[in-house]
Structures are given as structure tokens and as C-alpha cells.
Structure 1
Amino acid sequence: MYQIETKKQHDEMRVALRELLEDVYNEEEVLKNHLWIALKIGTISNIIQTHLQYEDEYLYPFLMEHDDENVREIAELYMREMSHVKRHFDNYKHKYISDPKAIKNEPGIFIEDTNRIIGEILNRVELEENRLFPLLIDEK
């Protein structure tokens, strides 16, 4: 159950991130589409918030009650690490959504920041699928 829902959320995240990347491949496109890009960042933010809430309310509490201490330790580590990814994304979101002109004013920096944060999020998704999903095989 948890694995299926988490995978569904990950897939939704991947689609939204790919859509953002489609508009962030060069400065000219960024300048042309900066308002649309800001809206996409807002959409991604909502998807991530929903996912994190699901993890906090269901996935991690389930793993923290696991009989295997190793599973509990991995869950605790992943919860701590996720706070770093969340903080980085929140900084990115604040920088570019609170003032969409920031996208337009420095498109080169925006492209770098976007590629960096998307890479970080996708790495996290892959880690969860490769390290956490196997722990969910014995779901109650």
C-alpha cells in the first residue's frame, strides 16, 4: 500500500519536473516563459508538499514502528536528510515565486538553480525507491 502510493507520487513529481525542464533549457525560453515557469514551480511545490505530508503522516511512522532496528535507523536517517532537500527547495521556491521577476532578471542563474534543485529532488526520489521501497516489502 505505502509503496504503491509513494511510487504514484514520485511519478507525478517526475512528470512535473520534466515539464519544468522543457521551459528551462536556454535563457531565451526562460525570458519568454517566466510567468508560466513560476506557475509550474508553484505546482511542483504543491506536489512536493503533499508527498512530504504523506511521508510524515504515514510512511515514516510505519517504518519507525518496524520490528527491525536497522529499518528504524534508515527511516530516521531519511527523515533527517529530507529536511535538507526540503530546505533547499523552499529557498529555491521563495527566491523565484515570491518575485517572478527574479527568473526574468537572471535567467542564467535561474537555469543553474533549477537544474541543481531538480537533480537533488530526482536523486532523493531514486534513493527512496532503491533503499526505502525494499523495506516496505513486508508491509503489515
Structure 2
Amino acid sequence: MVSFTELNQQNDTITELSNVLCHLIDERSVCDLKVTCDLFFSYVDQVKEHLDLEERELYQSMLLHSDQNIRNTANKFLSGSGEIKRVFGQYLKRWSKNKELRINDHDQFVKDTREMFQLVFNRIEDEVEHLYPTVRAVQAAMPK
């Protein structure tokens, strides 16, 4: 099973990348630089990897749990993962091609990107406040 240390480290990396990218994308001339694209797609990959890891490692025992509240929490977070992936897909289709950013309207790109970062940040907060404590409770109750 994945450790909470690893999950929290992933969340920290995602947050750091988004904070740096928020500053970089404000300057139009920097958006097309290779370093910005590399950081941006590292962020995208980190988010996808984190959501996939949670799906593989956290939800199965919660979905099979006898407590309906625990099953509801798992379903909520699984649904949220699917929604983030869907929104990310639409966002990437609009703003990138072949791992390169394609920015034809800088103001809209900045707005959409900040909304994406906020969506992911809200998810991270929800994980820390609701998902991880629930997973810990389930794990603590499991026979060893």
C-alpha cells in the first residue's frame, strides 16, 4: 500500500509546480519557452500520476467497506478524479499539442490555467482533510 508520506510529497510537488507556473504564465513571452513547457507538462504528469496512484491503492478497500459513509467518500473522490481528468483533457486539447503549449489568447490561457490549478488545489485540500483521515481509519480497523 502507498504511504501517506508519498501521497503528501506528491501533493507538495504538484503545489510547488503550480505556484511557479502561476508566475511564469503571467509573462506572455515566457509561456512558449521550453523550460515553461517542460514544467507545465511535468505538472500535468504529476497530477495524473497522483490520481492514478490513489485509484490503484486507496479506493478498493473503501468501496468494499461495510460503512456506507466510507463507501460514499470513496465514490465521491473517484468521481472527482474522473471529473478532473475530463476537465484536464479538455484543457489540454484547447491549449496544447504534442507536449507543447499553443497559446493564441494569452489572457484566456492564464484564466483557464489558474482555474485548473485551483481545481487541483481544492482537490488536494479535500484529500488532506477528508480522504486521508478516512483511509487511515479504515486501515486502522483492518485486522493485521
TM-score w.r.t. structure 2 length? 0.83
Alignment partners' CA distance in 2, 1:2 and 1:76: 21
The equivalent residue for 1:32 is 30
List per-residue Cα deviations over 1:86-105 (Å, max 9, x = no partner). Answer: 111122122222174632x2
- Higher RCO (Cα < 8 Å, 6 or more apart): 1
Q: Which residues in structure 2 correspond to 1:7-22 (within 5 Å)?
A: 7-22=8-23
Cα gap change, 1:120/1:74 in structure 2, threshold over 3 Å: closer, same or farther?
same
Task: Give the fraction of aligned pairs with identical amino acids, expressed as a percent.
Answer: 23
Cα gap change, 1:101/1:24 in structure 2, threshold over 3 Å: closer, same or farther?
closer
RMSD across aligned positions (CA): 1.9
The equivalent residue for 1:79 is 78
The equivalent residue for 2:62 is 63
Q: Structure 2: give runs of 5+ residues left out of the alignment.
A: none
Q: How many residues align?
A: 136
**Contact 1:38 1:97 survives alignment (8 Å):** no
TM-score w.r.t. structure 1 length? 0.85
More displaced stretch, 30-39 vs 40-49: 30-39
More displaced stretch, 79-88 vs 2-11: 2-11
- Give the aligned residue type for 2:52: Q
Q: Structure 1: give runs of 5+ residues left out of the alignment.
A: none
- Give the aligned residue type for 1:34: D
Aligned residue for 2:77, secondary structure, equals: helix
The equivalent residue for 1:122 is 121
